[in-house]
Structure 1
Amino acid sequence: MGHSENHRAHRIGWLRAAVLGANDGIVSTASLIVGVAAAESSQSNVLVAGIAGLVAGAMSMAAGEYVSVSSQSDTEQADIVRERQELAEDDEKEHSELAEIYVSRGLEPELAKQVAVQLMKKDALGAHARDELGISDTLIARPVQAALASAASFAVGAALPLLLVVLVPASVLLWTVSLSSLLFLALLGALAARAGGSPVLKSAWRVTFWGALAMGLTAGVGKLFGAVV
Structure 2
Amino acid sequence: MNQQIYLVEDDANIRDIVKAYLKKEGYEVTVTERAEDAWELAQSGQPNMWILDIMLPGMDGYELCKRIRQVSEVPIIIISAKDEEVDKILGLELGSDDYLTKPFSPRELVARVKRLFKRTELQPIMTTQSTDLLEVDHLKMDKAARQVFWEEKEIDVTTKEFDMLEIFAKQPNRAFSREELLTLIWGDDYFGSDRAVDDLVKRLRKKLHGLPVETVWGYGYRLHLQGEEE
Common fold: TM-score over 0.5 = no
What is the TM-score normalised by the length of structure 2?
A: 0.24
What is the TM-score normalised by the length of structure 1?
A: 0.24
Between Structure 1 and Structure 2, which shows a larger proportion of strand residues?
2
Between Structure 1 and Structure 2, which shows a larger proportion of helix residues?
1
Higher RCO structure, 1 or 2 (CA under 8 Å, sep 6+)? 1
